[in-house]
Chain A
Amino acid sequence: MAVRPPSKSIAEYQAELKALGEEMYNHSLELVRLKRELEIANREQESLLHFISHEVKGYLTKSEAAFASITEGDYGHIPEKLKTMSWAALSEVRKGVATVMDILEAANFKKGTVAYAKKKFDLRAAIRDVVSQLEPAATEKGLTIELSIGEGEFLFEGDEDKLKRHVLRNLIDNAIKYTPRGVVKVVLTDGSVIRFIVEDNGIGITPEDMKNLFTEGGHGKDSIKTNVHSTGYGLYIAKKIVEAHGGKIWAKSDGQDKGARFVVELPLT
């Protein structure tokens, strides 16, 4: 076999290698600079978000207090019509406060500044409590909540308030919001792990939406149509909290209009 002589001299190869090294370096340097710019932009965005959220929360909280005073009769007897209006306004303002709190909470999770107050509590009682709070909303839509709780002991060591508000309540509330008619099943079982399941026969989740489901601001493509108040932070926060308790959360759906099943697994404590 004939060996062909190299087409370039060693010096030429060396020059080529140096040029490649420089090119690689310049690309890498550009990435470092972009990363720095992105970090600065993120910090600025976070700080602006925090500022706006705090300001808005302040205004909403004042409105909430005013409507609560009117509704509770602090200003004396009020006509029935005004009372109804005041209740509705109070309820809307509270939703506003909850939305702002979600956004603030998500920002705190991102920064890693969330503290957990862990103590033993009864998960059964927590779920019953959440279901009883949400039942009126379900009934109003003509939905039924079917609650099924296993025989075991469901004492769990964790942050009861965060698990109730952001995980249990959020999943059941979502199921109610995204199910036009039918049944929402809420199941609690134990075994080697504690399992909390929320299953509905609602609008389902497309494979495309499934990818972003637990991400920050991860709205479903059409979820705003069904739930105009969706912040896109609910499931992101839920995931962070479940993981902080050593658990897992996931969802399954056969697609659009095929319902959804959310499962939370928590370790026995």
Chain B
Amino acid sequence: MRPLDNIALRIIKEQELVIGPLAWSEAQKVQGIKVVNAKNGDVRLENGDPMGIVDNLVAQYEKLFGRASHEVCKEAVADLVASFPREEIPMSLRA
């Protein structure tokens, strides 16, 4: 799994803890996200701009659930992005 696929998956799973299966259906509305197998946690980002897709995923949750959901996304991946160079971290997840 590529690092940004993994980040998207982590975000969806964290949101799932708060809002349940709705987290997956909202993720599927984001263009470029392909949920191969929700049960096994297989998510792929399928166009040339994976960072933009992750930003759109964060925005999708924020549109419905507000600022708190954005913070949840950031906290969920904080350990993963810690080792990324700043320019490789999607804008919405930068500190």
* Residues of A near any B CB (own CB < 8 A): 18, 21-22, 24-26, 28-29, 32
Contact = CB atoms under 8 A, between A and B. Distances in A.
A243 to B, nearest CB: 29
Contacts of A24: 65
B19 interface: yes
A26 B66 CA distance: 9
A243 B24 CA distance: 37
Interface in B37-83: 64-66, 68-69, 72
Contacts of A18: 64, 66
Interface residues of B, number: 9
B65 A21 contact: yes
Contacts of B64: 18, 21, 25
Given A24-B65, A25-B64, 15 more contacts: A18-B66, A21-B64, A21-B65, A22-B65, A22-B66, A22-B68, A25-B18, A25-B65, A25-B66, A26-B66, A26-B68, A29-B18, A29-B68, A29-B72, A32-B18
Closest A-B pairs by Cβ, 6 of them: A22-B66, A25-B65, A28-B18, A29-B18, A32-B17, A21-B64
B22 to A, nearest CB: 10
Contacts of A32: 17-18
Contacts of B72: 29
Contacts of B69: 25
Contacts of B66: 18, 21-22, 25-26
